[in-house]
Amino acid sequence: MKKIITVMLISCLCTLVHAQPVWELKKDKEGIKVYTGSIPNSNLKAIKVTCILNSSLSQLAALLLDIKAHEKWVYHTKTSYLVKQLSANHLLYYSELDMPWPLSNRDVVVEINISQQPGSKVMNVSANAVGHYVPLQKDKVRVSLSKVNWTVTPVGNNQISVEYIAQADPGGEVPAWIVNSFSTKGPFETFEKLKEMLASSAYGNTQYDFVKD
């Protein structure tokens, strides 16, 4: 019986390992690396971005929590606003995303939560779609699957190392090849503008109780 249980545990572990995307580097420019990875049972690609940013943890947290500012740096964001403030580091927000004609614009309600590991000071950010809180609109397609995770590690000299992993399905009748064709352009341009936003003085003096730099 013990041997059977051991085999079953190993089998489960192997399944979990194989479920992780195998990342393929698609773009490496200006210190921003964009990868795509296949997702089991899906034609859509997962995205990973890695980079070093000239920023503190608090600066990045402030930018991520400045929901209206998402219109300036998140790729193809037309409108973004706060829906509900659950706590200083936990909130709900709404975004409308521009889509090329003849596709309908997409919209999404996101729950974002920022936490920090006390010992390492690594900051974790989860930003996942939730399917309610804002009524559906006839002229837009609501995104029901969007999962984003940031792992942000301080590396000294006011620099942070970022690993960003995202998986999303825009819903509606959009061929997977069209979605995948934007999988490099969108993340790269988003992080380009993110770097510009962090370079401004708007977030330099921000401090939070939930983040220690």
What was the pLDDT predicted at 173? Answer: 67
CB neighbour list of residue 192: distance below 8 Å, 6 or more residues apart: 30, 32
CA distance linking residue 132 with residue 50, whole number of Å: 31
Burial 32-64 (b: 16+ CB within 10 A, else e): bbbbbbeeeeeebbbbbbbbebebbbbbbbbbb
Residue showing tokens 């309610």: 132
Strand partners, 92: 84, 111
pLDDT digits (tens, 9 = 90+) for 127-160: 999 978 999 999 999 998 899 999 999 998 899 9
Residue 153: strand, helix, or coil: strand
Give yes or no for a contact between 187 and 180, defined as CB atoms under 8 angstroms apart.
no
What does pLDDT average to over the chain?
Answer: 86
What was the pLDDT predicted at 170? Answer: 77
What was the pLDDT predicted at 89? Answer: 97
What was the pLDDT predicted at 179? Answer: 62
Please measure the distance between the N-terminal and C-terminal CA atoms of the chain and give it in whole angstroms. 50
Regions of the chain with pLDDT less than 70: 1-19, 42, 172-182
CA distance linking residue 143 with residue 145, whole number of Å: 6
CB neighbour list of residue 134: distance below 8 Å, 6 or more residues apart: 83, 94, 107, 109
Residue showing tokens 């190392």: 161
